[in-house]
Amino acid sequence: MVQAMINTKLMQAVQDMIGELSTSLGEDKLSIDKPTRLVYRITHGPEALLHESLDDFTPAAIVRPTSTEDVQTIVKLADKYEVPIVPQGGRTCTYGAEAIRDCIVIDTATMDKILEIDEGSYRITAEAGVRVVDFHRYLEERGFMCVDFPTMNKAATLGARAALNGYNKFENRWGSSGYHIKGLEVVLPNGEAVWLGRGTSAPTKSVVGLNMMDLFIGSRGTLGVVTKVTERFIDMPPSYHYGIRAFKDYEDGLKTYIDLRKPLNAGLLWRSKVYHKWFLSQAVKGMLEIDFPDDVEMLVDYHILGEPDVVEQMEKHAIRIMEDHNGFWRDDMPPTDIIGRMHETIEKYMGMGGLWSDRIINGGMANRIIPLDPMIPDSKLLEYYKEYLKLLREIEDGESYPALTDSMKVLNPAGPVPGDVGYSKIWILLLANWNKWDNETRKEFKDWFRRHAELALRFDGSITGTHGFIPREMEVELVRKEVGEKTYEFMKMIKKTIDPKNIMNPKVRF
C-alpha cells in the first residue's frame, strides 16, 4: 500500500518533469515513446538475466542534451521533482547504465564534439559523448595515440571511461582511464557545473589541495554527470613487436607472465596476456575449425612498443624470460595474429554473434556474456588460480549446479591480464543462454557468485575493479565486506553530501 503510494507520487512527478522538459529543451531532444524506451532499458551487462521481467528497467523518458547547459536544465528539474536520473554512454558496460523503472535516461552520445587540442602539451578536451573510436581517429590523424584503448571502443564514450575508470590493454605501462584524465567538467546533482582537476582546476598538477576529480573517476554516474573531459595523449610509437609462447603447464605460464611484468620491465613492455586451453580449444575450434594441441595448457603473449632499438632490446629480454620458464612455439599452433587479436574478435563473436544460440536464424534473445574480473595480488596468483579453476569446473560438472550446467558455459577461465604493478585482473567470461534462465538458474548463479566473491576476498583480492559486476541485490553486502564497514559508511556520507536527494543513478552501489 505504502509502496503503491510512493510509485504513484513518483509517476506524477515524472510526468510533471517531462512536461517542463519538453518546454525548456524542445521536443526533439526528448523521447517518451515505448519502442525508444525499450531500447534504452538494459546494457550489455548480465543484471537483466537476474530479473523475471525487464519492466524493472524501463525508463519514463530519454533526453538527448547537446550542451552542458542542457544537462544543467535536466538535472535541475530532476532535483526539483526528485526523479532518478541514469546517465548513459554507449551502454556497453557490464553494470551501471541499466535504466530504472520511471527514471529519466540522459543519453550523452549527442554531446560529441572535440573542443580543443594542445599538441605541444599533449592535452585534448572533448565532450563526454565522443566515442572512443572517433577520439582515437582524431589523434591518429595528427600522429598521436590515445593509450586508453577498451575493446568496445566503437560504442564506448569518453564520459563513461571517466565514470568507470576503465581498464585498457596497456594498463601495465600507462594505467587505467583515470591516469589519462587530467580534468573533468561535471554537472552536480544541484545542477551546478564545475571544472575539476587533481587539487586544482588546471589540467594537471600533483595533488596538494583536495583531489576532487578522483571522486568522480569510477563513480558510475552516482555523483554527477560528466560533460567534458581533458585527457593526455602520446606520440605514436614508431615500432611495435608482438610475441607469444606456449607452456605445457599453467605454473610455467603464470610465472612467465609475472616475470614479464615485474616493475623494471613494466616501463617498457606494454602488455602481456595469458590464455588458458579451456578457452583456446573452444575459440580456435569455433573460429578456425582447427584443434588446439592437447599437450599445451597455456599461452602467454607480449606487446612491446617504442623506439625501434629499444623495442629490439626489450624483445630479446622478453624471449629470455619465456625460455627460462620452458616457453616454446611449434608449427601446429594457431596463427599468432589471431591469438593477439582474440580480445577483439573471438570473444565478441562467441558472446554476441550467437554461438550456442539460434538467434541468427530465429531472432529473439541472444546468449549473453557474463564478464567477471576480480583483481588478485601477483604474490597469491598461483594459489588463487588453482582454486578458481575448481570453482569454474563446478559450473559445467552437472552435479554441483545442475540448472547452471544446462544454461551456462565457461568461455574463458581465469586469464590474468596486468593491472597496476603487482596486481592482475583475472579475466573470466561465462556465456549464459538467456532463454533457459529460470528462477532455479538465478538461485544457483547467485550462490556460485557468492563463492566466487568470497574466494577473491580470501586471497586479498577485489571484486569491484573494472567491470565490477555484482548482482544488484548482493552489491551493498559484498562491497561492505570488501571495503569494510567504516569505509562504506564514509562513502555513503560523501554520496549523501553531494546528492542529498539520491537522484543520481540511485540503484548503483548505495
Which parts of this chain interact with ligand FAD (CB under 6 A)?
43-44, 86-94, 96-97, 108, 128, 150-152, 155-157, 159-161, 163-164, 166-168, 220-221, 225-226, 347-348, 351, 466-467, 505
Q: Which is nearer to ligand FAD, 71 or 321 (CB)?
A: 71
In angstroms, give the least distance from the CB of 108 to ligand FAD. Answer: 4
Q: Which is nearer to ligand FAD, 166 or 178 (CB)?
A: 166
Strand partners, 410: 430
In angstroms, give the least distance from the CB of 87 to ligand FAD. Answer: 4
- Could you give the CA distance from residue 146 to residue 148 in angstroms, rounded to a whole number? 6
Task: Return the amino acid letter for 405.
Answer: T
Q: Which is nearer to ligand FAD, 293 or 506 (CB)?
A: 506
Here the cell at position 262 is 615485474
Q: Which is nearer to ligand FAD, 58 or 255 (CB)?
A: 58
Q: Residue 78, exposed/middle/buried by CB under 10 A (0-12, 13-18, 19+)? A: buried
For residue 235, the tally of other CB atoms under 10 A from its CB is 10
In angstroms, give the least distance from the CB of 169 to ligand FAD. Answer: 6
Q: At residue 154, what are phi and psi to the nearest 5 degrees?
A: -75, -20
- Could you give the CA distance from residue 277 to residue 107 in angstroms, rounded to a whole number? 40
Q: Which is nearer to ligand FAD, 163 or 269 (CB)?
A: 163
- Could you give the CA distance from residue 124 to residue 402 in angstroms, rounded to a whole number? 52
Q: Which is nearer to ligand FAD, 246 or 463 (CB)?
A: 463
Q: Which is nearer to ligand FAD, 130 or 304 (CB)?
A: 130
What is the SS3 assignment for 498?
A: helix
Here the cell at position 105 is 535516461
In angstroms, give the least distance from the CB of 127 to ligand FAD. Answer: 9
Task: Return the amino acid letter for 118.
Answer: D
In angstroms, give the least distance from the CB of 422 to ligand FAD. Answer: 20
In angstroms, give the least distance from the CB of 387 to ligand FAD. Answer: 25
Q: If you write DSSP's letter for every residue of 203-227 in order, what string do you get?
A: S----SS---HHHHTT-TTSS-EEE
Look at the alpha carbons of 97, 98, 100, 106 in this order and tell me if their dihedral is positive or negative. Answer: positive
In angstroms, give the least distance from the CB of 296 to ligand FAD. Answer: 25
In terms of Cα–Cα distance, which of 401, 402, 481 is closest to 447? Answer: 401
In angstroms, give the least distance from the CB of 309 to ligand FAD. Answer: 30
Q: Which is nearer to ligand FAD, 160 or 246 (CB)?
A: 160
- Could you give the CA distance from residue 65 to residue 72 in angstroms, rounded to a whole number? 9
Residue burial 123-154, b: 16+ Cβ < 10 Å; e: rest: bbbbbbbbbbbbbbebbeeeebebbbbbebbe
Q: Which is nearer to ligand FAD, 221 or 340 (CB)?
A: 221
In angstroms, give the least distance from the CB of 150 to ligand FAD. Answer: 4
Quote the DSSP letter at residue 73.
H
Task: Return the amino acid letter for 497.
Answer: T
